[in-house]
């Protein structure tokens, strides 16, 4: 607990014992370690990932134009595989995207000779197990999926078909320096995550060490020195009687010219509480989550929680869902009989009910618009399509 070192002071000639030294900062760089430190061991990162993944996965899909293939795609996304529901699959999909910047879906095909057929099942793959197979033109021709256990190691290869169909959908966030992997919000907030975790570790270590910073015992300003026996006894008594939680608050009795001098910065100087709050705000900023939704004090950007929640949906969740819908549509359309065009069903989002009420009120008072124009502005299909759909049902 005490890194004792004896050192002579040249200016005063008084020997003293130094207990601490500053070191260089260490940052987390490995993606697996960053996911562990940023989500598994950090409450702010964990909550940000959960908020985005659960909100985005809860948005329902609808079709721009009803087609048989589109209806099959909706059914497939509602029941993607025997192990998961559609919401669970998309929650894993968006969660991987936030922690690693990459999300992969595997479409399982039935090898029965059919050329244009949608996948029978869809599974989410872990990004840390996937590596691209790069072709001569620099673009991925396929993917290697490695599963390692204590007993064995399995490698599955997914190759792109001649018609352009890839059994693996790779959805990634923009990375300016990597052609094959995306940049995750967690990676951009890596330093803030380390600062936040270091603040928690510092507070825990301070409590374990009697809630006192380290310092130095100064002896013999007149040039006297401790004997070897006195030095050993003093070191032993300090370690046994003044360290650890059980000894918190115990007074230190000094005699024989001993003087205690703090060597490290005090908690007020370091201001770890404010530093942790600043780091938490940086983490939330990287994910696009308003700090007010995480309970971080000192943030008055939004006048109330409702505005913060609306900004979260409009600026973070809905753009992400819109991009995912377009990627899923392009991926499934390669093997569909007709085109598949998925888009989020905003009517199912309860957080946007206030905006919908205001829109409907404005359309109700717009006497210069007919009913079909109002339906188009509200995002509803023409009345004829609704009648045909009801008649077909």
Q: What is the pLDDT of residues 160-176, one digit of tens each?
A: 888 788 999 999 999 99
Tens digits of residue pLDDT in 258-303:
666 665 555 555 566 778 888 999 999 999 999 888 888 766 666 7
Distance (Å, whole) CA 364 – CA 51 = 35
pLDDT at 363 over 90: no
Q: What angle do CA 305, 281, 210 make, to 5 degrees?
A: 115
pLDDT for res 273: 73
**pLDDT value at 257 more than 70:** no
pLDDT at 382 over 80: no
Mention every residue, 6+ apart, whose C-beta is less than 8 A from residue 297: 277
Q: Which two tokens stand for residue 73?
A: 């795609």
What backbone torsions phi and psi does residue 136 show, to the nearest 5 degrees?
-70, -25
Mean per-residue pLDDT, 13-22: 47
pLDDT at 348 over 70: yes
Angle of helix 272-287 relative to helix 190-208, nearest 10 degrees, comes to 150
pLDDT at 307: 85
Q: Name residue 106's beta-bridge partners.
A: 123, 168
393 by DSSP, 3-state: which?
coil
Q: Kindly report, residue by residue over 167-201, the tens digit of the pLDDT.
A: 999 999 999 998 889 999 999 998 899 888 888 88
Q: What is the pLDDT of residues 95-142, one digit of tens each?
A: 999 999 999 999 998 765 556 788 999 999 999 999 999 988 888 899
DSSP state at residue 104: E
- For residue 6, what pLDDT is reported? 45
- In the DSSP assignment, the letter for residue 184 is P
The two tokens of residue 239 are: 């370690």
Exposed, middle or buried by CB within 10 Å (0-12, 13-18, 19+), for 45? buried
So what's the pLDDT on residue 362? Answer: 82
Q: Is the separation of the CB atoms in 316 and 351 below 8 Å?
A: no
Nearest residue to 218 via CA among 249, 269, 263 = 263
Of 347 and 51, the structure prediction assigns the larger pLDDT to 51
Q: What percent of the chain has pLDDT over 70?
A: 73
Instruction: Tell me the sheet residues that pair with 218.
Output: 16, 259
For the entire predicted model, the pTM comes to 0.76
**Residues in contact with 340: Cβ distance below 8 Å, sequence separation at least 6, in sequence order:** 63, 67, 69, 70, 73, 328, 329, 332, 333
Residue 214: the pLDDT is 61
Average pLDDT score over the chain: 79
The CA-based angle 283-285-286, given to 5 degrees, is: 65
Query: Helix 43-57 crosses helix 86-100 at what angle (to 10 degrees)?
Result: 140
For 88, what's the count of Cα atoms within 13 Å in the CB-facing half-sphere? Answer: 9
Q: Are 137 and 153 in contact (CB under 8 A)?
A: no
Taking a C-beta distance cutoff of 8 angstroms, is the pair 293, 308 a contact?
A: yes
pLDDT at position 378 is: 73
Closest by alpha carbon to 342, among 330, 354, 352?
330
Q: What are phi and psi of 6, to 5 degrees?
A: -90, 135
Measured distance CA(331)–CA(340) in Å, rounded: 9
Asked whether the predicted pLDDT for residue 33 surpasses 80, the reply is yes
What's the confidence (pLDDT) of residue 122?
95
In this predicted structure, the answer to whether residue 39 has a pLDDT above a threshold of 70 is yes
Reported as type and span, the H/E element at residue 130 is strand 130-134
**pLDDT for position 293:** 86
**Which pLDDT score, from 0 to 100, does residue 383 have?**
73
The pLDDT of residue 72 is 92
pLDDT for the residue 126: 93
Show Cβ contacts of residue 35 under 8 Å, excluding neighbours closer than 6 positions: 99, 100, 128, 186
């Amino acid at each position: 607990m005490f890194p004792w070192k004896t050192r002579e002071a040249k200016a005063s000639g008084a020997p003293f014992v130094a207990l601490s030294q500053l070191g260089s900062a260490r940052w987390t760089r490995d993606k697996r370690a960053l996911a562990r430190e940023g989500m598994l061991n950090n409450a702010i990162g964990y909550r940000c990932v959960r908020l985005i993944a659960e909100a985005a996965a809860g948005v329902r899909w609808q079709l721009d134009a009803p087609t048989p293939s589109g209806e099959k795609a909706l059914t497939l996304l509602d029941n993607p595989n025997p192990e998961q529901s559609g919401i669970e699959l998309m929650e894993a999909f968006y969660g991987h995207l936030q922690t690693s910047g990459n999300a992969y879906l595997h479409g399982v095909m039935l090898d029965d000779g059919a050329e244009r057929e949608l996948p029978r099942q869809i599974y989410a793959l872990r990004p840390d197990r996937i590596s691209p197979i790069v072709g001569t033109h620099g673009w991925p021709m396929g993917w290697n999926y490695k599963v390692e256990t204590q007993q064995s190691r399995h490698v599955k290869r997914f190759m792109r078909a001649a018609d352009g169909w890839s059994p693996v959908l790779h959805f990634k966030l923009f990375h300016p320096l990597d052609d094959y992997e995306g940049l995750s919000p967690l990676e951009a907030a890596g330093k803030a995550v380390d600062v936040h975790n270091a603040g928690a570790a510092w507070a825990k270590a301070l409590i374990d060490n009697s809630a006192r910073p380290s310092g130095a015992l100064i002896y013999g300003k007149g040039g006297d020195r401790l004997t070897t026996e006195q030095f050993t006894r003093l070191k032993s008594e300090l370690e046994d009687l003044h360290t650890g939680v059980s000894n918190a608050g115990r007074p230190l009795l000094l005699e024989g010219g001993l003087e205690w001098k703090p060597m490290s910065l005090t908690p007020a100087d370091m201001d770890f509480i404010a530093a942790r709050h600043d780091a938490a705000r940086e983490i939330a900023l990287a994910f696009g989550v308003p700090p007010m939704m995480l309970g971080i004090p000192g943030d008055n950007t939004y006048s109330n929680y409702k505005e913060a929640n609306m900004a979260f949906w409009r600026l973070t969740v809905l753009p992400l869902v819109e991009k995912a819908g377009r990627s899923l549509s392009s991926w499934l359309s390669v093997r569909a009989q007709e085109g598949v065009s998925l888009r989020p069903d905003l009517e199912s989002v309860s957080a946007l009910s206030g905006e919908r009420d205001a829109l409907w009120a404005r359309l109700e008072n717009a006497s210069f618009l007919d009913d079909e124009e109002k339906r188009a502005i509200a995002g509803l299909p023409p009345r004829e399509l609704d009648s045909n759909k009801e008649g077909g049902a």
